[in-house]
Structure formats: structure tokens, C-alpha cells
Amino acid sequence: MLKIDLAKAFDRLEWSFIVSALARKGLHDHFINLIHACISSPTFSVLINGQPSHKFKSSRGIRQGCPMSPYLFVIAINE
């Protein structure tokens, strides 16, 4: 029996792996570059005592709640 924690896998996908999975599907380079820009450009901040912290960037993973996330995850996990 194999048990996989997909919640952790969702956060640990490397962007380079997603890009290569999209390329293996035969998608156009321009489209892949647009997807990469969408998943790698967001910045985040955390509320501490009601005050936002300094912004920081993520280095991997797909944001939960993004409309593209489930599709990218399925493509990556099927590679």
C-alpha cells in the first residue's frame, strides 16, 4: 500500500519541474513562459499583531486558491 500526502506535494513542486512537464506535453514556449511568470511572480506578507510584515517571494510550490493550480498539479503529478 502506498500513501501519498498530496497537500505537502502541492507545496513542494519545483517550478522547473512544472515548466519541464508543460514542455513535455508539447505546449508552446510562449505559453509556458506566461505560466511560469504567473506562478513565480507573487509576493506574500504575514500579518503580525494586525500589521503586515515585509513582503517576501516564494521559491517553489503552487499557490492554493489559484484557478490554475489544480490543473498544473495534475499535469505535474502525471509526469
For residue range 3-45, list pLDDT tens digits in order: 565 555 556 778 888 899 999 999 999 999 998 888 887 778 8
Residue pair 69/62 in contact (Cβ under 8 Å)? The answer is yes
Residue 23 lies in a domain: yes
Show the domain range for 31: 12-36+64-78
Task: State yes or no: pLDDT of 71 exceeds 80.
Answer: yes
Task: Report DSSP letters for 19-46, one per residue.
Answer: HHHHHHTT--HHHHHHHHHHHHS-EE--
Alpha-carbon distance of 11 to 30, in angstroms, equals 25
User: What is the pLDDT at residue 23?
Assistant: 94
User: What is the pLDDT at residue 9?
Assistant: 59
Residue 49 lies in a domain: no
Residue 48 lies in a domain: no
Residue 27 lies in a domain: yes
Task: State yes or no: pLDDT of 66 exceeds 60.
Answer: yes
